[in-house]
Each structure stands twice: as structure tokens, then as C-alpha cells.
Amino acid sequence: MLDIRLNGQSLRDILTAPPKISDQANGVCRVLTFEVVYSDKLANFLGQPVELWYNSTRWFFGFMLKRGKTSDRKVTFTAYDPLFYFKRTQDDYYITNQTATQGFQYLAEQVGVKVASLADTAAVFEALYYSGSTPDKIAVDLLARTYKANERKFWYRYNPGVDDEGLNLFERTVPVKIWAFTVGVNLSSASIEESAEETCPVIKLVNRETGKTVYEYDNDAIMQYGHQIHFEEVDKDKADTMEAYAKELLKKLSKVTTTMNIEGANPDRVMPQFYSGDVIYVEEELTGVIGGFYIRNITQTFESDNLVTISAEIIEEPDIPEIQYQTATEDKKELATAKAGRKGKKADATTDEGTGVQQSEGYSDFMKAQIEKYGIKKGGT
């Protein structure tokens, strides 16, 4: 059975359109949108907790942060899961002699986001200082540095389930068993588009201070797609690595962009919910979209108690995050100042003896107060 609860109030009987959960790889958090008929008995305030229950499982947990009203007596709501606060908590952050795993724990504690499980990313970073930054970009930066250090791909999301709720950092691996979408069963359409509009077979890097210029070419791509140039200025501190950086850019930008989309169904509550980063199998012969793919973006629409329709963008390989802060390790004075400012500041956490990672005992005082203020019922229908 489908149910949406706003601050514990069931909205099932006044829903006027199918609710939707959207999850985009570059969107930081998952978003729930839904619409109800106006009711004087509906107490709703910005900031209230929202849950979506389906098949006796909580598929979404977050906070209602946008509300609209129309002249035909409809009320629209938009709720975001707790990772929304990762992009709304700008501050100075300092991470020293820690892995990305420990960095995620630290960020979650500073923001007030509950932790569920954090995979061991292994690579240790000596000193990183992020001035006036947001945790969402720092998180991506840590994962990009991890990939550069050990070529292991990690990603994160917020688990909404009652038993496993919280921030989940996991390694991207192909599971032994994956769900399949096939024609005549649960796949209604598929499309593929290839574009060379933004293909750049020439890379030009310039350092204005030293006068150094670096070029990288892909002659075959130039002959096929034309002489398109990616131009970029780099600072003097990157002068020694310009060649390597140019090769990285060429590998990334000289390719044709391929976009693949599918539409399908999850009938009779057969499959679990899907997230960006999940692996699925698709088979559609006309377009040639056949094989295992990663979900990049996905929207799941709850048509009824027994049907969820799916619209997704899929990719052959998971996106590799890029380093967001090239100067995070450069300013030694700022590093020292930040380190001193963080001394003696303890988080409300315990240490897991098995992993050595600090595990948060719950929400920060801010989030606890919000949940206690509005209350959340446990259990499903």
C-alpha cells in the first residue's frame, strides 16, 4: 500500500496525482514531489518531516522545504532527503591524515546527518583544507582523490529505510545478480542519441605567468569531427603537471557523447526501489541498448498500490568524480589556522572497533530538535 505522511499525518486519501521520487547523480539528494487537495484539517509547515511508504517499506525520508497552492484548491509539496543540507552548510572544513571514509564521518557530524554505513576507502590524505566550502563538493573531491590514489570507485547516498537509515558510502561494483528490463515484460521504451557537438579533439593549456603552452591532439577525431578546441588557463603551481592534465582532458573530451534513456515498470511490487548508481540489465534490439548499465538519473512515479513506473538515464560506465578543489592542500598558513580552530571540538560519536570509523549515535542537536518537535511515527503499511 502507498502512503505519504507529512509530520505523521497520512495524505493517502487526499493525493491528487502520483507522487514522484527523483534521484540525479549530480543532485546531491533525492527529491519527493506530490500533490494533494486543499484541506483545512491538514497542518503543514515548512521543515516538517515527510515519509513515503510503499509495500510496507519506507522508500523516502526527508523534510518538506517547498510548498505551493493553486486556484483550483491543489497544494503541491517538495521534500528533500537529509543530504540536502550537505549543499547548504558552507563553512571552513579541515581534514588531516584521514581517509575519505573518515572525512565523510566528519562532514556528517558537522552538518548533522545520520550515518548508516561507510565503506573503507583506504587511501589516506595528509592535509586538506577547504575554505568557505560546502560538504557536497568536498565529498566529491574526497572520492575523486581516492580514485586517483587507488583507482577504486565509491559513491554515497542516504538510505531511507527504518532499519538502515542514514548516510551510506559504498564501493561501486557490479553485483552478482541484477534486475533486468526487457521488451514485453517491463520495458516500454528505450532511446539512444550520439552527439559530437561538444567533442574536443584538441586541448590547449596556457600558463600566463610562465608563458608555457601545452597542446594535445587526437588526429583521428580531428579528421572525423572537426577542429574543435578546449582552451584552459592554469596557474603557475600546475605548470609541472600541465602535460598530464592535458592528456586527461583529451581522453575525456575527444569522445562522442552518448545519451541513453529507458522507460519501464515495476509491477506488483516485484522489484525494490532503484537509486542513481545502481546497475541494471536492459535489452532492446532496435536501438541496440543491450547489456549491463549504470543508472545516472532516475524518476520513480507511484501510479498505484501495485505499479511504479520508471524513467531513467543510463550509462555504460559510472561517472568518475573530478577533483573540485585544486588548491585544497596549498595554503600552509590556512591549514595551520584551520587545524588550530578544530582542536578540542568533539563530535557526538562512538568508534566501531571493526573498522576504526566513528559512528554517529544519531542526528545533531539541530536535527534532533526538529524531529522531536514534529515527531515521526515508526512502522509501515
Cα-Cα-Cα-Cα dihedral sign, residues 305, 307, 313, 314: positive
Largest interatomic CA distance in the chain: 69
If you average pLDDT over residues 341-369, what whole number do you get?
46
230-259: pLDDT as tens digits: 999 987 767 778 998 899 899 989 999 999
| DSSP-derived 3-state class of residue 224 | helix
Kindly indicate the confidence band of residue 98, based on its pLDDT and cuts at 50, 70 and 90.
Answer: very high
180-209 per-residue burial string, b: 16 or more CB within 10 A, e: under 16: ebeeeebbeebeeeeebeebbbbbbbebee
245 exposed, middle or buried (CB, 10 Å; 0-12, 13-18, 19+)? middle
Q: 40 in helix, strand or coil?
A: coil
Give the position of cell 552538518: 111
- Average pLDDT over all residues of the chain: 87
Please give the domain boundaries of the chain with CATH numbers for all domains. Answer: 3-81+370-374 (2.30.300.10), 85-172+321-360 (3.55.50.10), 179-195+257-315 (no CATH), 202-253 (no CATH)
Predicted pLDDT of residue 333: 55
User: How does residue 343 score in pLDDT terms, banded at 50, 70 and 90?
Assistant: very low
The pTM is what? Answer: 0.83
pLDDT in the model for residue 352? 45
Backbone torsions φ then ψ of 93, nearest 5 degrees: -125, 140
- For residue 115, name the pLDDT band (cuts at 50, 70, 90): very high
- Asked if residue 25 has pLDDT above 50, the reply is yes
Instruction: Identify the weakest region by mean pLDDT among 78-82, 105-109, 233-237.
Output: 233-237
CA gap 262, 192 in Å, rounded: 9
